[in-house]
Amino acid sequence: MPTAAPTPKAVLHQRFGAKARYSVEEVREAVGGCPGLAPQTRSVYRCALELPGLSVATPGTFVRKKDAEQAAAQIALDKLGIQPTANIPSTPEEAWGELIARISGFFIDENFLSSTHPLVGHLSVTLRRTGDLIGRIPLSAIAACDVKVNTLCKMIDPRAEFDPLLVLSLMYNAAKQSPGVSVSDSSFWIQSQRPYSPEAVDLAFKRWFGTSNPIEVEAILVPHVLEDEPKIVRINLRDNEHYMTYVAEKLTASDSSHVLVSRTIGKTSSEIRLYFAAPNVQFVSDISKNELACLGDGDINCQVNKRASYISGQTIYGDALLANIGYTRRDSELHIEDVNLCTYYRILLGKFPDGNCKISRDAILAAELPSVYSRFSWKGLSPRDLLCSFCRNQRLSEPIFAVSRVSCDMLTSTASSEERGAPAKSVENQCTNDVKTDKENPDSLKCEVKICSRKQEILLEYSAADTWSKESDAIQNSALKVLIWFNNYFKQLNTKTDKLYLPECPDGFKIHPNVFLQEFAMCLSVYGNAGCSDLEMCTAVGLISMDTPKKHLESTTSLTHIKGPDSGVFPSHGSLTCICYTASLVTKDKVKRYMLESHAEFEFEIGTGAVGNQLESCVTQLSVNQAACFVAELPPRDLILAAASEFSHDLSNVSRESYFLEFSVKVLQVTEPLEDRMEKALFSPPLSKQRVEFAVQHINELHATTLVDFGCGSGSLLDSLLEHPTTLEKLVGVDISRKGLTRAAKSLHQKLSKKLLVQTTVPTAVLYDGSITDYDSRLYGFDIGTCLEVIEHMEEDQASLFGNIVLSSFRPSVLIVSTPNYEYNPILQRSAMPNKDEEADENAGPCKFRNHDHKFEWTRAQFQCWATDLAVKHNYSVEFCGVGGSGEEPGYASQIAVFRRMTRNLEPICQNEDQDQPYELLWEWPNASIPA
Ligand code: SAH
Ligand code: MG
């Protein structure tokens, strides 16, 4: 077990205190390297340190401020010749000696009473007593407020980290040997052998106030019987008595010396801890034989409080009290805060992989862990921070991110930077330099993630196949993948505890089941139905895929009371949407209503899974300024109580059958996807218009009368074509998105109706719901087929499948296919973020592709290769062109292939209604009614 050495700053602080003055300077440093892209910069730091008689500065720069400071402190230590490890015991025996001395130190040195050490808070309460009880405190009060004692215990026996009972046993036995203190034989009291001088006591009283007025504080009793629900208890503090006395009463411990205390839970600054009564054990000590044991009455394991142990990551016995009480260096009186059921359920939620994502957005019922990361639209804590806090809350080691450069042949990786919290800067800089010179392959960084137990045993490894041009993108994306993996795993805890997966998982995950199950055993035993404490059962495994394939879930939530007219501005896939919502629990008889969650402005990106399915479905059925209500599926009880804040107590007893959850939502604002905004802002006319013009030109050249738009979306092309004079007589659109098609139907209907008022004939129009990778004979042999900005939304094999089907079966005379030119992206990105320098690097910048729904974006060479192969295979010619920009390096913004069928005449096919007509007719002009 490596012991954590104090940081260089900590060592200097011990020596110099506030006389060590650090000044950190921010420097901008050039990074990046996409071809044609103006140099970007990022912030790095260097640090100067002033000590009495010595000043030093870091020669290099660091990505994090704190690393720069530590480096400066280390230089100073080297110059001063200070060995940071000098006073640190290195063996369990030395630690034992140190523990004995430290416990003594609290009692024999009167000056201690004038310090700000929180233990003095405990002492000064008991110094207000009279008689024998003066200055007598429970041993666990020391463990609760002295970090060093805990560290020493851990060095003596590493298991102490997880076991407050063992800490008590070690302290008890050490205290017996500590000079100047007396320890009780039958209980765990400790006090000074000599009376304190009145002056010393006076000093303590001056700083530490007593609690003469009664104060009530709420705490949560966590029963050790899993079937019993946690409930509120009220602790009354009064009469200047030590608070642990009252805690003991609630726990039916014989006295406060038998109360044990866990580590702090949640934020490190909080005083939330679990208190529990010491099980009936006898401590045996024989340090010479290195044997320190708790002799229980045989069966103390059956009293393990699983929930409390899971929450604290320590072994807790019997009923436990979750309370926020304690002395701190910050306050001069007892710090007390209510802990209610909501706090308890939020602590539980925080242990889930998606919990902190919900909590950090303050949207427990609405927010979900998004399935994709983009710097542009990510809200709340970053994936990397979420993964770190998940590991911390699960009492695992900090995740290790290893970024490496993938060399051009993609086979070997060179530079590697291992990062655990703080990155190894030198290597990181090297990475960046590599990218700068690597013009051939801008996406060359990948990031592997390792999750280890506290004992540094690997339990999960993730090796990414994706590469990124920015180190932070590589880290964030990999962190998100790991979080999603854990999230899927946690979702199955309730249902399938007996099923785990084989060590080799797909998608770059490798699990080490033994360590994994050991680390999550407590979690499984709390959440698994079967109470999977039996590891044998867990390892009897079958493979379950952790990654349920992402379906295009177009579920439709039924809305009630849609208010306001359709403004025509609607949230679509990829748009950043701002809503206002409330989520209320309503009793079935509608008499009572509890508002659980509300936001006046809540922003998320459609299509990323950042909110629940139902909420997203609701939002996409509305346009800006419209509002609606819907009844949502009732979330799990724990989640409701975590959201319920002040109602958590009321709601804890209500049966699920008697209420429902209602969302009321209004769409406030829609920001189009970055891709669309860039296309509009940076090109005149906008790129989509230019694509229409391009199509019109070909229609006219060809005197085309029939046109099919593959992947028509909400019909923008068909719509615009009606505004141009063309030879077209029949327009058809196909798409798989019902929502898109419905919008297309509405706008085409309007446009055609208007046209009929001024013209005698208008073209016919048809919309089909279907996949363009399926052949439908009704669309055979059209004059012109268009497929604009669609293929990149399909997987590459599907794009090829479409290419083959359209040229071999649909066989239009001319086919126009457009798709983004990847090589043009740096220009877009630079133009979209002109002020990038002023913004922190982490907060700005688009995602890797123009739109996160894109499965790929091709270079000119890739696109031309795809198109040429298809053309040759199916007897078409192909020409390349594009819109947006001049076409010179690096090509057009949107690249276009125009295929021409080489055979003039087509054999007619016989249309058989039953065959080859998989598409569903959704809308037709004339004779149409608009689909709902
Ligand atoms: N062509 C439109 C929409 C482009 S967005 C325009 O230029 O504005 C891409 C569209 O492709 C989406 O509407 C999506 O639903 C559709 N799409 C993706 N895969 C599809 C498939 N297999 N079959 C039909 N449409 C598909
Ligand atoms: Mg697109």
**Ligand 2 centroid vs 737 CA: distance in angstroms?**
14
Which ligand has an atom closest to residue 798 CA? 1
Q: What is the pLDDT of residues 47-78, one digit of tens each?
A: 999 988 888 998 888 888 888 999 999 898 88
Q: In 3-state terms, what secondary structure has residue 843?
A: helix
Return the minimum-mean-pLDDT range out of 150-154, 371-375, 908-912.
908-912
- C-alpha of 257 from chain center: 41
Q: What percent of the chain has pLDDT over 70?
A: 84
Q: How confident is the model at residue 467 (pLDDT cuts 50, 70, 90)?
A: confident
Q: In 3-state terms, what secondary structure has residue 772?
A: coil
Q: Which atom of ligand 1 is nearest to the CA of 773?
A: 22
How does the average pLDDT of the chain come out, rounded? Answer: 83
Q: Please choose from 675, 690, 720, 735 the residue to mutate so as to test ligand 1's pocket, defined by most ligand atoms within 8 A of CB.
A: 735
Phi/psi of residue 84, each to 5°?
-65, -20
Q: Mean per-residue pLDDT for 666-674? A: 88
**Ligand 1 centroid vs 778 CA: distance in angstroms?**
19
Dihedral over Cα of 750, 751, 756, 758: its sign: positive
More confident site: 503 or 677: 677
Q: Please report, to the nearest 10 degrees, the dihedral formed by the alpha carbons of residues 707, 708, 710, 715 taken in order.
A: 80
Which superfamily does 676-834+848-905+914-925 belong to?
Answer: Vaccinia Virus protein VP39 (3.40.50.150)
Q: In 3-state terms, what secondary structure has residue 211?
A: coil
Of the candidates 269, 271, 99, which has an alpha carbon nearest to the alpha carbon of residue 168? 99
C-beta of residue 858 within 8 angstroms of C-beta of residue 864 = no
C-beta of residue 113 within 8 angstroms of C-beta of residue 120 = yes
Q: Which atom of ligand 1 is nearest to the CA of 794?
A: 19
Cis bond before residue 549 (omega within 30° of 0)? no
Q: What is the pLDDT of residue 109?
A: 83
Return the minimum-mean-pLDDT range out of 17-21, 31-35, 106-110, 649-653.
31-35
Tokens of 73: 């402190």
Residue 396 has pLDDT above 70, yes or no: yes
- Does 773 contact ligand 1 (Cβ within 6 A)? yes
Query: Which residue's entry shows tokens 């339990």?
Result: 459
Q: What is the pLDDT of residue 78?
A: 86
Residue 433 has pLDDT above 70, yes or no: no
Q: What is the pLDDT of residues 282-301, one digit of tens each?
A: 665 544 444 455 544 445 55
Q: What is the pLDDT of residue 410?
A: 45
Q: How far is CA 168 from CA 143, 154, 190, 263, 624, in A?
A: 8, 12, 12, 13, 62
CA angle, 669 then 606 then 708, to 5°: 105
Q: How confident is the model at residue 886 (pLDDT cuts 50, 70, 90)?
A: confident
Which ligand has an atom closest to residue 572 CA? 1
Considering the domain delimited by 574-673, tell me its CATH architecture: Roll (3.10)
Q: What is the pLDDT of residue 567?
A: 83
**Closest CA to ligand 1's atom 22:** 771
CA–CA separation, 410 and 725 (whole Å): 51
Q: What is the pLDDT of residue 302?
A: 62
Phi/psi of residue 727, each to 5°?
-85, 5
CA–CA separation, 493 and 490 (whole Å): 5
Q: How far is CA 824 from CA 788, 827, 837, 895, in A?
A: 17, 6, 21, 10
Give the DSSP H/E element, type plus range, for residue 759.
Answer: none
CA–CA separation, 165 and 277 (whole Å): 10
Residue 584 has pLDDT above 80, yes or no: yes
CA–CA separation, 421 and 158 (whole Å): 23
CA–CA separation, 54 and 800 (whole Å): 68
More confident site: 883 or 554: 883
DSSP conformation letters of 47-90: EEEEETTEEEE-SS-BSSHHHHHHHHHHHHHHHHT--TTTTS--
Residues forming beta bridges with residue 275, ordered by sequence position: 261, 321
**Ligand 2 centroid vs 792 CA: distance in angstroms?**
6
Q: What is the pLDDT of residues 244-262, one digit of tens each?
A: 999 999 998 889 999 999 9
Return the minimum-mean-pLDDT range out of 188-192, 534-538, 806-810.
534-538
8-80 and 676-834+848-905+914-925 share one CATH topology? no
CA–CA separation, 892 and 859 (whole Å): 11
Q: Mean per-residue pLDDT for 499-518? A: 73
Q: What is the pLDDT of residue 535?
A: 32
Q: What is the pLDDT of residue 768?
A: 97
**Rounded (10°) angle between helices 796-805 and 860-874:** 30
More confident site: 739 or 99: 99
Q: What is the pLDDT of residues 592-611, one digit of tens each?
A: 999 999 999 999 999 899 99
Q: What's the pTM? A: 0.74
- Does 679 contact ligand 1 (Cβ within 6 A)? no
Tokens of 506: 């797909």
Tokens of 718: 């068909």
Q: What is the pLDDT of residues 814-831, one digit of tens each?
A: 999 999 999 998 888 777
Do β-strands 784-788 and 814-820 pair in parallel, antiparallel, or remain unpaired? parallel
Contacts 24+ apart (CB under 8 A), 409-416: 413/446
- Does 517 contact ligand 1 (Cβ within 6 A)? no
Residues forming beta bridges with residue 764, ordered by sequence position: 730
- C-alpha of 555 from chain center: 25
Q: What is the pLDDT of residues 70-99, one digit of tens each?
A: 999 989 888 887 765 556 777 888 999 999
- Does 718 contact ligand 1 (Cβ within 6 A)? no
Return the minimum-mean-pLDDT range out of 476-480, 509-513, 705-709.
509-513
Half-sphere exposure in the Cβ direction for 408 (13 Å, CA): 6
Q: Which of 300-304, 375-379, 500-504, 799-803 has the highest mean pLDDT?
A: 799-803
Judging by beta carbons within 10 Å of its beta carbon (0-12, 13-18, 19+), is residue 879 exposed, middle or buried? exposed
Q: What is the pLDDT of residue 887?
A: 86
Q: Please choose from 721, 731, 736 the residue to mutate so as to test ligand 1's pocket, defined by most ligand atoms within 8 A of CB.
A: 736
- Does 476 contact ligand 1 (Cβ within 6 A)? no
Q: Mean per-residue pLDDT for 314-324? A: 94
Residue 546 has pLDDT above 50, yes or no: no
Tokens of 582: 């409330």
CATH fold group of domain 8-80: Double Stranded RNA Binding Domain (3.30.160)
**Ligand 1 centroid vs 362 CA: distance in angstroms?**
34
CA–CA separation, 490 and 612 (whole Å): 17
Q: What is the pLDDT of residue 438?
A: 42
- Does 261 contact ligand 1 (Cβ within 6 A)? no
Q: What percent of the chain has pLDDT over 90?
A: 49
Tokens of 164: 């407050």
Q: How confident is the model at residue 210 (pLDDT cuts 50, 70, 90)?
A: confident
Q: What is the pLDDT of residue 286?
A: 47
CA–CA separation, 276 and 257 (whole Å): 11
Q: What is the pLDDT of residue 87?
A: 64
Q: What is the pLDDT of residue 500?
A: 55
CA–CA separation, 431 and 423 (whole Å): 12
**Ligand 1 centroid vs 877 CA: distance in angstroms?**
25
Of the candidates 681, 669, 665, 678, which has an alpha carbon nearest to the alpha carbon of residue 571? 669
Q: How confident is the model at residue 909 (pLDDT cuts 50, 70, 90)?
A: confident
Number of H helices, E strands in the chain: 28, 33
Residues forming beta bridges with residue 788, ordered by sequence position: 818
CA–CA separation, 123 and 110 (whole Å): 12
Return the minimum-mean-pLDDT range out of 23-27, 207-211, 846-850.
846-850
Q: What is the pLDDT of residues 477-486, one digit of tens each?
A: 999 999 999 9
Do β-strands 876-883 and 706-710 pair in parallel, antiparallel, or remain unpaired? unpaired
Residue 440 has pLDDT above 60, yes or no: no
Which ligand has an atom closest to residue 714 CA? 1
Q: Is 220 left (phi over 0), alpha (psi -120 to 50) or beta?
A: beta
Q: What is the pLDDT of residue 892?
A: 94
Q: What is the pLDDT of residues 793-818, one digit of tens each?
A: 999 999 999 999 999 999 999 999 99
- Does 771 contact ligand 1 (Cβ within 6 A)? yes
Half-sphere exposure in the Cβ direction for 662 (13 Å, CA): 17
Judging by beta carbons within 10 Å of its beta carbon (0-12, 13-18, 19+), is residue 378 exposed, middle or buried? buried
Do β-strands 593-605 and 576-587 pair in parallel, antiparallel, or remain unpaired? antiparallel
Give the domain ranges of the chain: 8-80, 92-291+299-339, 574-673, 676-834+848-905+914-925
Give the DSSP H/E element, type plus range, for residue 9.
Answer: helix 8-16
Residues forming beta bridges with residue 325, ordered by sequence position: 336
